Amino acid sequence: MQSFRLLALGVALLLAGCGVGTAAPTAPDEVSAGPLRLSNIWLRTPNDTSSTDALYMVIRNTGSRPDSLLGATSDAAATVELHQTSSTGGVVAMRPIPEISIPAGGAVAIESGAYHLMLLDRTRVVKAGDLVTVTLLFQQAGTVVVQAEVRDAVPTTERSDSKDSNHQH
Ligand SMILES: [Cu+2]
């Protein structure tokens, strides 16, 4: 029995060591698609039982023609919607929008408080550190496949005082 315990411990250490030695997959810092540069692509995991996740990124357009993000799909959700967050009279709400324009020579931050991609009806469990595949459809650049790193929800220090934190994305 003693030797079995030692063996079990050895296996556990081996597995732990393996986990450390094999670097977790990481999303590339920047993805190029024609004149577009996509960076800081990440998926916010909900810090509650909500099954919806918000995806963020920064899209730069180095070209001389405007482009538009028209939609997206993901391996982790049945539906992905483009959402815009707005604040009117202190009430924060989000609504689906048909497209997100990226001006020529400009950039759009798809970030908390502005735009986000909403992953609805998750099809698999994701947790911090995982990578989620997202296929973006642009009017000009066409289809672009990116990897989004799953991160925990906004750190407590950055959290708004609003009770309605579910809609703070
Ligand atoms: Cu949303």
159 within a domain of the structure (yes/no): no
Please state the domain count of the chain.
1
110 within a domain of the structure (yes/no): yes
CATH code of the domain covering residue 71: 2.60.40.1890
pLDDT tens per residue, range 66-85: 999 999 999 999 999 999 99
124 within a domain of the structure (yes/no): yes
Distance 26 CA to ligand 1 centre (A): 25
- SS3 letters across 21-65: HCCCCCCCCEEEECCEEEEEEEEECCCCCCCCEEEEEEEEECCCC
128 within a domain of the structure (yes/no): yes
Cross-strand partners of 55: 43, 117
69 within a domain of the structure (yes/no): yes
Distance 23 CA to ligand 1 centre (A): 32
pLDDT tens per residue, range 129-152: 899 999 999 999 999 999 999 988
70 within a domain of the structure (yes/no): yes
Tens-level pLDDT at each residue, the chain (169 residues): 555 555 555 454 444 444 444 555 666 789 999 999 999 999 997 655 455 689 999 999 999 999 999 999 999 999 999 999 988 888 888 999 999 999 999 999 999 889 999 999 888 888 888 999 999 999 999 999 999 999 887 544 444 444 444 455 5
Q: Are strands 115-122 and 53-61 parallel, antiparallel or unpaired?
A: antiparallel
Distance 52 CA to ligand 1 centre (A): 8
Name the residue range of residue 39's domain: 30-154
Scanning the chain, the segments in alpha helix (DSSP H) are 2-21
Distance 115 CA to ligand 1 centre (A): 8
pTM over 0.85: no
The string over 124-151, giving b where at least 16 C-beta atoms fall within 10 Å of a residue's C-beta and e elsewhere, is eebeeebbbebebebeebeebebbbbbe
